[in-house]
């Protein structure tokens, strides 16, 4: 295992720079600029999807990259579909593009058995010379991934499987559960909107915290403000 990278990233903020083709910042140039901004803000690492974006980011910033390769089905069901680096081929493509860590969906969705996840991890570990981060949604999935030889566990998919806790906030309970069951590094990810939430995750034992939408999706940030205004207007109507 690449111990020094794990040590280097301990306590650091990972900034996820991602945009789909229906978002205004879609494209490798935009993603690279987002990564430069994250570096200016002293992020420890970048999370990015697809080989072309990872290549562009690696050219612009000298930070470690958590690479994923989202393979989208024609119609995408966020709760049910496994899209994050689902095949060895997809993982190899992001590793070859320069990802230092490859993140992989290790949930038990789509009829996957624990043995199927163990086999998947073994395949990735055997063929790729990078750290593998298992993205999970429950403690049970974390336990399977740890047994399967994952180098890092991540709470990325908590709240996005039919059977995990659906919360507005980050899943702090899952961070605690994972820290109790393994000594592997735990990346906390999903629905972090404020710096104090990031601090709380570190206090609970997280190794790194990844923030995406609250930093790199301007339309989501804008909506937080406009929704606050809408709530105020609603309140005013009630008290009139």
Separation of alpha carbons 66 and 151, rounded Å: 13
Judged by CB, which is closer to ligand LRY: 124, or 160? Answer: 160
Q: How far is the CB of 63 from ligand LRY (least distance, A)?
A: 17
Q: Which is nearer to ligand LRY, 41 or 183 (CB)?
A: 41
Rounded to the nearest whole angstrom, what is the least distance from the CB of residue 97 to ligand LRY in the complex?
16
Alpha-carbon distance of 20 to 238, in angstroms, equals 39
Alpha-helical runs (H) found in 10-60: 28-40, 51-60
Task: Kindly give the interhelix angle for 139-147 and 114-127, rounded to the nearest 10 degrees.
Answer: 50
Torsion of the alpha carbons at 159, 164, 166 and 170, rounded to the nearest 10: -60
Residues that bind ligand LRY (CB under 6 A): 16, 18, 68, 156-157, 160, 189-192, 210-214
Provide the minimum distance between the beta carbon of 116 and ligand LRY in the complex, in angstroms, as a whole number. 20
Residue 220 beta carbon to ligand LRY: minimum distance, rounded to whole angstroms: 8
Q: C-beta of 190: minimal distance to ligand LRY in Å?
A: 5
Residue closer to ligand LRY, measured from CB, 139 or 214: 214
Choice between 90 and 156, CB closer to ligand LRY = 156
Question: Cβ closer to ligand LRY: 185 or 212?
Answer: 212
Question: Residue 127 contacts by C-beta under 8 Å, 6 or more apart in sequence?
Answer: 88, 92
* Nearest residue (beta carbon) to ligand LRY: 212
Please classify residue 116 by burial: count the beta carbons closer than 10 Å to its beta carbon, then call 0-12 exposed, 13-18 middle and 19+ buried: middle
């Amino acid at each position: 295992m690449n111990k020094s990278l794990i040590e280097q990233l301990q306590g650091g903020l990972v900034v996820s720079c991602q945009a789909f083709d229906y978002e205004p910042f879609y494209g490798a140039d935009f993603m690279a600029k987002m990564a430069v901004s994250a570096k200016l803000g002293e992020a420890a690492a970048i999370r990015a999807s697809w080989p072309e974006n990872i290549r562009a980011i690696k050219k612009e910033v000298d930070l470690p990259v958590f690479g994923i390769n989202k393979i989208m089905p024609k119609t995408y069901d966020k709760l049910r579909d496994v899209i994050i680096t689902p095949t060895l081929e997809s993982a190899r493509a992001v590793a070859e593009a320069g990802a230092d860590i490859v993140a992989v969906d290790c949930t038990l969705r789509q009829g996957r058995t624990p043995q199927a996840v163990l086999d998947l991890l073994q395949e990735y570990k055997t063929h790729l010379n990078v750290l593998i981060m298992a993205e999970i949604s429950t403690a049970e999935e974390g336990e399977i991934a740890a047994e399967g030889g994952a180098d890092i566990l991540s709470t990325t998919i908590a709240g996005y499987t039919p059977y995990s806790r659906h919360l507005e906030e980050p899943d702090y309970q899952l961070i605690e559960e994972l820290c109790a069951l393994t000594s592997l590094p735990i990346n906390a990810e999903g629905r972090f909107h404020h710096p104090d939430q990031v601090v709380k995750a570190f206090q609970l034992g997280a190794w790194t915290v990844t923030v995406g939408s609250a930093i790199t999706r301007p339309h989501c940030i804008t909506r937080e403000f406009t929704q606050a205004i809408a709530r105020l207007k609603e309140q005013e109507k009630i008290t009139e």
